[in-house]
Amino acid sequence: MAMYIDIFYQDHPAHPTIKLLETSYEFNHNQDTGTGKSHANMIALDFSIFEHTYLPVLIHDLILFKNIEVHACEQILKTYLSFDKQTFIAIDELKKYSAEIIDLVKRVTFLELSPQRLAFKKSWKKLKAS
């Protein structure tokens, strides 16, 4: 995990640790418990497991990226491409990223949703009439 955190963040970031017990686990964020850093720590754990196991695919939803600092998120997005296995992410708010990252995401996008291109031909945001 430390290797990935060092990729995501500069200036000696706090490294998370995990302790696997018989019936539980302890995931320690080492006093850096902000939501964004906690999500980046979880992504680093996922990347480590993905790299060192036969897990065939990794999927992350957009909620993970919302609170991660932009520069760290850009490094995370680049890291997805370093794997020889399939990764899938949902991401929005692309305009906050650099042109390089926007281009990278657009090059590997296989499905893009919008208000005009709904996933299930129905918007779940609208209230039902009573």
> Is residue 114 in a domain?
no
Number of domains present in the structure of the chain? 1
CA-wise closest residue to 78 among 59, 103, 53: 103
Q: Which H helix or E strand runs over 27? A: strand 25-28
Query: Domain containing 93: what range?
Result: 2-108
CA-wise closest residue to 40 among 16, 10, 11, 12: 16
Spatial contact of 29 and 14, defined as CB atoms under 8 Å apart? yes
The tens place of each residue's pLDDT in the chain, 130 residues long, gives: 999 999 999 989 999 999 999 999 999 999 888 999 999 999 999 999 999 999 999 999 999 999 999 999 999 999 999 999 999 999 999 999 999 999 999 999 999 888 888 888 777 777 666 6
What pTM was estimated for this model as a whole?
A: 0.89
> Is residue 21 in a domain?
yes
Spatial contact of 26 and 18, defined as CB atoms under 8 Å apart? yes
> Is residue 129 in a domain?
no
> Is residue 113 in a domain?
no
Spatial contact of 44 and 76, defined as CB atoms under 8 Å apart? no
User: Residue 37 maps to which CATH number?
Assistant: 3.40.50.300
> Is residue 19 in a domain?
yes
